[in-house]
């Protein structure tokens, strides 16, 4: 199960994810990113405990969609197993890059 908390201002919107990002929850991430009002979206993964290949795809897609919309999206506070998964899959550097 994934929970999402959105905070911030007009400059940066922080989307904090907690729980599991997988096939069942990836739509929730996409919706949160679409609803984020700022030009910069910061995905806080500090409380994300699990991420499978569908979750990785959702993170990459969210970053790509934000870019197509003229916005920046990056992840912060990547830890533990989620950090390892993103490193092994080869997307961590790109997802943490601040445009």
Per-residue pLDDT tens, the chain, 99 aa: give them: 999 999 998 889 999 999 999 999 999 999 999 989 899 999 999 999 999 999 999 999 999 999 999 999 999 999 999 999 999 999 999 999 986
Q: How far is CA 17 from CA 25, 42, 51, 70, in A?
A: 11, 11, 11, 23
In whole angstroms, give the CA distance from residue 50 to residue 41: 21
The pLDDT of residue 99: 67
pLDDT score at 37: 87
State in Å, rounded, how far the first CA of the chain is from the last one.
30
pTM of the model: 0.94
DSSP state of 21: E
Cβ contacts of residue 67 below 8 Å, gap of 6+? Answer: 73, 99
DSSP 9: -
């Amino acid at each position: 199960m994934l929970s999402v908390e959105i905070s911030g201002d007009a400059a940066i919107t922080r989307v904090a994810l907690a729980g599991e990002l997988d096939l069942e929850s990836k739509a929730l991430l996409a919706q949160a990113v679409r609803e984020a009002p700022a030009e910069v979206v910061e995905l806080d993964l500090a409380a994300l405990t699990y991420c499978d290949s569908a979750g990785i795809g959702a993170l990459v897609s969210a970053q790509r969609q934000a870019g197509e919309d003229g916005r920046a999206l990056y992840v912060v506070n990547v830890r533990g197993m989620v950090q390892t998964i993103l490193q092994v899959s080869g997307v961590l550097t790109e997802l943490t890059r601040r445009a």
